[in-house]
A and B are shown apart, each in its own frame.
Chain A
Amino acid sequence: MSTSTIEAKVKSIIADQLGVGEDEIKPESSFIEDLGADSLDIVELVMAMEEEFEVEIPDEEAENIKTVADATNYINTHKK
């Protein structure tokens, strides 16, 4: 899976769960500050990404995933 495919899928998950347009989602967008997510949204996003990419994101790692790029990078490094 290429980095751009991962990024597209991540954007699609975010758009679906946070109800924002995909064009509003930039790599540097912060889930909480830019996209209006709260702590429960983050939990749901992390779970959705785990399922989509078949990766495990431990809680202590999830805490460091703050932007779209953080998520894409984590998945890119850890996907099977």
Chain B
Amino acid sequence: MSQRRVVVTGTGLVSALGTGTEKNWQALIAGTSGIAQVTRFDVGKIDTRIAGEVKDFEPEKFIEKREVRRMDLYAQFSLAAAQMAVEESGLPVGPDKPHGYIPEKVGVIVGSGIGGISSLEEQHRKGLEKGFDRLSPFFIIQMIINMAPGLISMRYNCKGPNWAPVSACATSAHAIGEAWKSIRLGETDAVIAGGAEAAITPLGLGGFSVMKALSTRNDDPAGASRPFDKERDGFVMGEGAGILVLEEMEAAKKRGANILAEVVGYGANSDAYHVTQPAPEGEGAARCMLLALQSAGMNPEDVGYINAHGTSTPFNDANETKAIKAVFGDHARKVAVSSTKSMTGHMLGAAGGFEAVVSALALTRNLLPPTINQTSPDPDCDLDYVPNQAREARVDAVMSNSFGFGGTNAVLVFKRF
């Protein structure tokens, strides 16, 4: 039996660059930074005072008002992005719809790195003030991470596998990779997959800040996320969601779906090295990229663009560069590599979903988004990072890298369809 193939038919994005796939794409291609001062709360003495907050999100456009208050912001982002993806795809679920998928064969795999942390903070405060018998009955459902896929399944009647990966900044790449596996295996025919994050809160910002993981370029927010640049000094927190509709190729073709790209490869592994630092020479990341290429049956030369993990931390960017060189050899000098985190900030558990959509769009639009803030070349980061300006280029395959705290790695490969 020949292997079932998996295609992308819908996308939804929410980020500091805006709400909507097209709005995000246009901002990325224009090289716009979404980073600004934190407005949602008083940062007090936290060293970092900047982040990529979502600014234009109106939850009532996607969710009934009474439901909004029962959901954490991360879940609101996930439902909004899922709605966009399902609408773009026209995903038909149920026998009453033409070419409708059997609900039991439609899954939702949507994760989050951190989940409902703003709800957790609010309820903890309430507990301390009024007593822990006065918590909101909605607190647990706001906080838990699998509520995002749960809510999506209820809205679209997806009765197949329903779960939420949690693997820090690799979360939604894992979600998409596992969705790809599920469709290939025949467990499902379609999956809504990706991730959402809303962790720009006192605990989230303060927590990453005391790890010295964040940029403190507070007086230059737009210049703060500068992956691969010599002056980079840490990542900038972002938030939002990136969700895709994946379908089994023959079924998608049969129903006349607009196919954006094919998912052809997925690698997942671990550094087994350190809680936050990448393994020396990017050893784990390199192994993961190789796994993804092998699963795609591709050679390094087949990849024309890499959407890098590129967080703007001194460690990640140097190590990821080394890993790319180890895997791609001579081709590393030719492949275009860019980090859209230079514009969105690091969306943590939503990053892989956001960047998967960017990867698919790079294939369909024949445009590569830039890495902005490239002003001081770093001898340790000497690849073609598509500096500062988008580039017209027709590439046939795109790799998307996601690496997370805990030493977890996930790499996806997309192909022109």
Contact = CB atoms under 8 A, between A and B. Distances in A.
Contact of B137 (A20, A44, A51): A44
A3 to B, nearest CB: 27
B64 A19 contact: yes
Contacts, number: 22
B417 interface: no
Contacts of A51: 134
Contacts of A8: none
A43 interface: yes
A36 B65 CA distance: 13
B66 A18 contact: yes
Contacts of A40: 70, 137-138, 141
B182 to A, nearest CB: 31
A29 B286 CA distance: 63
Interface string B58-83: 00000011110110000000000000
The dominant DSSP class at the A interface is helix
Contact of A19 (B65, B137, B138): B65
Interface residues of A, number: 11
A32 interface: no
A18 B69 CA distance: 10
B136 interface: yes
B131 to A, nearest CB: 11
B43 to A, nearest CB: 30
Interface in B282-328: none
Contact of A47 (B66, B134, B141): B134
Contacts of A47: 134, 137
Interface in A17-73: 17-20, 36, 40-41, 43-44, 47, 51
Contact of A43 (B66, B69, B137): B137
Nearest to A20: B66
A51 B130 CA distance: 10
A38 B136 CA distance: 14
B64 A44 contact: no
Nearest to B64: A19
Contacts of A44: 136-138
Nearest to B66: A19
Contacts of B134: 47, 51
Interface string B17-56: 0000000000000000000000000000000000000000
The 10 closest A-B pairs by CB, nearest first: A19-B66, A43-B137, A40-B137, A19-B65, A44-B137, A18-B66, A40-B138, A44-B136, A47-B134, A19-B64
Given A19-B69, A47-B137, 12 more contacts: A17-B66, A19-B64, A20-B66, A36-B66, A40-B70, A40-B138, A40-B141, A41-B137, A43-B137, A44-B136, A44-B137, A51-B134
Interface of B: 64-67, 69-70, 134, 136-138, 141
22 contacts: A17-B66, A17-B69, A18-B66, A19-B64, A19-B65, A19-B66, A19-B67, A19-B69, A20-B66, A36-B66, A40-B70, A40-B137, A40-B138, A40-B141, A41-B137, A43-B137, A44-B136, A44-B137, A44-B138, A47-B134, A47-B137, A51-B134
